[in-house]
Structure 1
Amino acid sequence: METGAHGRHEHAYLVAVESDEQDSLWSVEDSLSELEALASTAGADVVGTMIQRLHHPDVATYIGKGRAQELGDLEKQLGFDLVIFDDELSPSQQRNLEKMLNARVIDRTALILDIFAQHARTREGRLQVELAQLEYRLPRLTGRGVAFSQQAGGTRSAGAAGVGGAIGVRGPGETKLEMDRRRIRSRIADLREDIENVREQRSLHRRQRAAQAIPVVAIVGYTNAGKSTLFNALTESQVIAGDKLFATLDPITRHQMLPGNQEVLYTDTVGFIQKLPAKLIAAFRATLEEVIDADLLLEVVDASHENAIEQSETVNDVLHDLQIGEKPRVTALNKIDLLDEPSELDLSLYPNAVPVSALKHVGLGALREKIAQVLADSMEMVQVTIPYEKSELVELFHRRGRVVLEEHRAEGTFLTGRIPRTLEGYYAPYLEF
């Protein structure tokens, strides 16, 4: 893909810091390797990498003045025009580095936002990406609005997400970068209002689905683990799936049958990644609520990846941040067709694990059986009458359960439906026998 302002690939140099302050399962080498994959996905040609080991990152330049000067010498030798740091830089660190280098400087956060900008296909996705971009760029705009516009190769249509522009500055928010702070804050407020409307619309759709008492299975996992390929295999669909990071941004839901003629709704969702920007999680809350309100999580793990365990732990961390880490889960250990000895997989490392190859359609029957079993074990059909002063329990039933019948009676709200077994204690006093 052509990404530069003059229709060429940008040449990028990657920088990572290993410090005593870091607390991660990932080695700095593995994280840097992933950054290289992200840069390639964005359209950059990586010409070199650097690892700096420090007790703690330098306040002014992140890597220290000496290494920054060394980076400047390398720029003259290698001719790169973009430097990408594996961690988020402060606005002052970014400005200081760009003063020392004859190259643009961005960080992992800007890079991920750029990839999201390229892949946002729907209005909802573009709104969420633009919000995240503007909130990230706002503190970095002081005295730099014109520079950003020049780097991006001039203004472009906000609807042409990811078309043209330099890595880290393109996307739905690109033309907004010349605004003053007041206008940007106004745009952010408008975006939040639009996204809130999206949330309400999605919430309405979920309530309509819930009224049918059909369980929802949200497919989650690390980016490029094969979620969309598995979604296609399970639902006989043809959504976009490919060997690239963050191919899916917008949730897609399809109806299918499980063994025993049980109906189910599968939802394909955005992939996770280590160091996922907090602003991106917040901006994509409307999308992630599809995961939060699901009955079961189907985690897809790339069993062939050397960092499979670390990737799964990263997914767990995000799920716990969303307060859904304890939700019923099935694990699809995907891409076993790439393993020399699939039988040697340690299934005990993952909850309710089933080895599969989504691409080769191997193990899908066993996976469907496991999903049906875990769903059956996790939900209970109940009839309850909730006093009107306990309306929060009615709302909880709608949000976490599946309402089949609702009637307003003299003594309270009568509900028939399925609830997770973990919520039985809340409704025990109101059960109808």
Structure 2
Amino acid sequence: MVLCLPTATIHGGRARGKVDVLTNDDRLEAGNDEVLGRRSDILQDQGARSPADMDGFSAGAEQWSERESRNQLRRVVGLGEMQDEGDVEYRKVRLERVVLVGVWSRNETTLEKAEESLRELAALANTAGAQVCDGVLQHRLKPDAATYVGRGKTKEIEGIVARHEADTIIVDGDLAPSQRRALEDATKVKVVDRTAVILDIFAQHATSREGKAQVELAQLEYMLPRLRGWGGSLSRQAGGQAAGVNGGIGSRGPGETQIEMDRRVIRTRIARLKKQIRAMAPARDVKRGSRRRLGLPTVAVVGYTNAGKSSLVNRLTGSGELVENALFATLDTAVRRAKAHDGRFYAYVDTVGFVRSLPTQLVEAFKSTLEEVAGADVIVHVVDASTADPFAQIEAVNRVLADIDGVEGIPRVLVFNKVDQVDASTVGRLANMRPEALFVSAASGEGLDRLRDAVESLLPAPEIHVSALLPYSAGGLLSEVREYGKVQKVEYRTEGVALEADVDSRLAARVLDSAVG
């Protein structure tokens, strides 16, 4: 391909028309020379500029750099190879093929953090049952208001989708309804955002009646502002003379379009779900009330999703909770009892995992689950030591905890899990940055004794000291004191059992009522 460009040459003081024939390579080289020449002129003028001019120059250089980086999509390596190799033919039938798209700005984050966020989105997509074909990042000051990535990059993404025969585009961020519609119209495939993927995973993993109701409530609240109309053929607003012209008697509807009816149905369903979830509150209060009534201390295990919380609870309590190397494998709260060194019992509460940019709908819907954290006596914060940026995960969890009422003042234990998957230098670096943290491995059992000692040292001690002589017929009461109190001394005498223990007010009253003499 050649391109004819008219130029002007000077002969004898007059400009005469001339045609130069340039190939594509010539045009590219000429454009590069022109850009380099402009940059050279700018650099030569720096010494003659005033401070005010230099500020303007810095702003211009930043805009120039930002525009240059916008001219190319950065491919995140390794996302297309994350799927499993087993059952290939089955997976081709079952999984939808997706392309990941992200936008980042130097004013808000770094390239490394943006790539890590896109890799996390790939893990979310795999957990949701999708096959990640490719992932690209665009650097720009802020997302485009129309198509999120801009009209030019939309064409490039359309080519990537066609090349991989993808079915869906997943955007690493929250899309406005207009952005999603514009991107779908341009690329001719389905477009979803990060929140939609997380909601889909929650819908797949919810098992209890309450968990399913919470997920449905979050989905409907997310869907309500994103309903899309289906054209005037479903309109029911015709009435009066307009109805008489178009259809006459029988054509007048209730005065609603189809999308308005859908919104009304969703609002009605949301109200019903909120009522159902409120009705489930007494059952939760009964369970928590029984633990408080027995004086059973609770330890809430929180952390980023897939940090190994369930595996750690299984190791500490000997239980058999579901353990899966997947994001959000645990959605329903599980309470498991453990025995301290002094003989009394306490409970571990395994909670739902957190994630960066946890959707507001989920935080609101799962408030009943997060109430367990607010009612705990100790919080164990589990962090995946093998992840690329564990401190970003710590910040994400702390932000969610800050939104829960009643969490302030509860003692916390920071635990780095999966130390068997990292080298000694990584452990040393984490220890230097967080000297108060403990390092454990739920898989190998390393460091679990230190964790037990740290947790048990923070458990609230019974506040009342009792000294009484119990009859031998009060064996059940003595057993209860051993389980829920701290026994200091037990002496078996002829007339009964001499007991000294620290107990709560409920047990203290029962012990004194049952005492001999």
TM-score range for the pair, normalised by the shorter chain length: 0.7 to 0.9
Kindly state the Cα deviation for residue 28 of structure 1 after the two structures are TM-superposed: 0.6
1:321-336 → structure 2 map (5 Å cutoff): 321-323=403-405, 324=407, 326-336=409-419
Match of 2:201 in 1: 115
RMSD: 2.9
Kindly state the Cα deviation for residue 340 of structure 1 after the two structures are TM-superposed: 2.1
Distance 1:44 1:357, change over 3 A: same
Match of 2:50 in 1: none
2:444 is the alignment partner of 1:360: yes
* SS of residue in 1 equivalent to 2:330: coil
| One-letter identity of the residue aligned with 1:246 | F
Contact 1:249 1:270 (C-alpha < 8 Å) held by counterparts: yes
* SS of residue in 2 equivalent to 1:59: coil
2:229 is the alignment partner of 1:143: yes
* SS of residue in 2 equivalent to 1:49: strand
Counterparts of 2:138 and 2:427 in 1: how far apart (Å)?
Answer: 40
Match of 2:12 in 1: none
2:102 is the alignment partner of 1:102: no
Counterpart of 2:310 (choices 224, 228, 236) is 228
Kindly state the Cα deviation for residue 20 of structure 1 after the two structures are TM-superposed: 5.4
Kindly state the Cα deviation for residue 326 of structure 1 after the two structures are TM-superposed: 4.2
**Structure 2, unaligned stretches of length 5 or more?**
1-86, 232-258, 466-502, 510-517
Contact 1:224 1:245 (C-alpha < 8 Å) held by counterparts: yes
2:420 is the alignment partner of 1:337: yes
Kindly state the Cα deviation for residue 35 of structure 1 after the two structures are TM-superposed: 0.5
Counterparts of 1:22 and 1:144 in 2: how far apart (Å)?
Answer: 38
2:125 is the alignment partner of 1:39: yes
Worse-matched range after superposition: 178-187 or 362-371? 178-187
Counterparts of 1:338 and 1:320 in 2: how far apart (Å)?
Answer: 30
Counterparts of 1:105 and 1:214 in 2: how far apart (Å)?
Answer: 48
Counterparts of 1:211 and 1:351 in 2: how far apart (Å)?
Answer: 37
1:31-430 → structure 2 map (5 Å cutoff): 31-143=117-229, 180-323=262-405, 324=407, 326-341=409-424, 344=428, 346-347=430-431, 349-350=433-434, 352-376=436-460, 381=463, 404-405=505-506
Contact 1:221 1:299 (C-alpha < 8 Å) held by counterparts: yes
Counterparts of 1:134 and 1:261 in 2: how far apart (Å)?
Answer: 48
| One-letter identity of the residue aligned with 2:205 | H
Contact 2:463 2:504 (C-alpha < 8 Å) held by counterparts: no
Counterparts of 2:135 and 2:330 in 1: how far apart (Å)?
Answer: 28
Kindly state the Cα deviation for residue 75 of structure 1 after the two structures are TM-superposed: 2.0
Counterparts of 1:231 and 1:180 in 2: how far apart (Å)?
Answer: 44
Counterparts of 2:136 and 2:332 in 1: how far apart (Å)?
Answer: 35
Contact 1:329 1:351 (C-alpha < 8 Å) held by counterparts: no
| One-letter identity of the residue aligned with 1:142 | R
Kindly state the Cα deviation for residue 22 of structure 1 after the two structures are TM-superposed: 3.2
Counterparts of 1:38 and 1:191 in 2: how far apart (Å)?
Answer: 26
Counterparts of 1:350 and 1:84 in 2: how far apart (Å)?
Answer: 35
Counterparts of 2:110 and 2:268 in 1: how far apart (Å)?
Answer: 37
* SS of residue in 1 equivalent to 2:342: coil
Q: TM-score, normalised by structure 2?
A: 0.64
Contact 1:213 1:404 (C-alpha < 8 Å) held by counterparts: no
Contact 2:464 2:505 (C-alpha < 8 Å) held by counterparts: no
Kindly state the Cα deviation for residue 364 of structure 1 after the two structures are TM-superposed: 1.4
| One-letter identity of the residue aligned with 2:281 | R
Kindly state the Cα deviation for residue 322 of structure 1 after the two structures are TM-superposed: 1.7
Distance 1:288 1:351, change over 3 A: farther
Kindly state the Cα deviation for residue 382 of structure 1 after the two structures are TM-superposed: 7.6
Counterparts of 2:378 and 2:429 in 1: how far apart (Å)?
Answer: 23
What do the CA deviations read for 1:221-265 (whole angstroms, capped 9, x no partner)?
A: 111110000011111011101111111000000111122223211
Counterparts of 2:171 and 2:216 in 1: how far apart (Å)?
Answer: 22
2:103 is the alignment partner of 1:17: yes
Contact 2:380 2:412 (C-alpha < 8 Å) held by counterparts: yes
Kindly state the Cα deviation for residue 270 of structure 1 after the two structures are TM-superposed: 0.5
Distance 1:276 1:144, change over 3 A: farther
Worse-matched range after superposition: 316-325 or 114-123? 316-325
| One-letter identity of the residue aligned with 1:50 | V
Contact 1:210 1:403 (C-alpha < 8 Å) held by counterparts: no
Contact 2:328 2:352 (C-alpha < 8 Å) held by counterparts: yes
Identity across the alignment (%):
44
Distance 1:346 1:81, change over 3 A: closer
Contact 1:75 1:102 (C-alpha < 8 Å) held by counterparts: no
Total equivalences in the alignment: 355
- The structure showing larger relative contact order (alpha-carbon pairs under 8 Å, at least 6 residues apart) is 1
Distance 1:181 1:343, change over 3 A: closer
Kindly state the Cα deviation for residue 320 of structure 1 after the two structures are TM-superposed: 1.2
Kindly state the Cα deviation for residue 381 of structure 1 after the two structures are TM-superposed: 3.0
What do the CA deviations read for 1:322-345 (whole angstroms, capped 9, x no partner)?
A: 242542111222111112217625
Counterparts of 1:91 and 1:365 in 2: how far apart (Å)?
Answer: 51
* SS of residue in 2 equivalent to 1:180: helix
Contact 2:133 2:166 (C-alpha < 8 Å) held by counterparts: yes
Kindly state the Cα deviation for residue 362 of structure 1 after the two structures are TM-superposed: 1.8
Kindly state the Cα deviation for residue 365 of structure 1 after the two structures are TM-superposed: 1.3
Q: Please identify the structure whose Cα radius of gyration is greater.
A: 2
Contact 1:330 1:351 (C-alpha < 8 Å) held by counterparts: no
Counterparts of 1:232 and 1:39 in 2: how far apart (Å)?
Answer: 27
Worse-matched range after superposition: 278-287 or 342-351? 342-351
Q: Which has the higher helix share?
A: 2
Counterparts of 1:315 and 1:349 in 2: how far apart (Å)?
Answer: 18
Kindly state the Cα deviation for residue 25 of structure 1 after the two structures are TM-superposed: 11
Counterparts of 2:356 and 2:185 in 1: how far apart (Å)?
Answer: 29
* SS of residue in 2 equivalent to 1:88: coil
Counterparts of 1:182 and 1:373 in 2: how far apart (Å)?
Answer: 54
Contact 1:250 1:269 (C-alpha < 8 Å) held by counterparts: yes
Kindly state the Cα deviation for residue 50 of structure 1 after the two structures are TM-superposed: 1.3
Worse-matched range after superposition: 308-317 or 99-108? 308-317
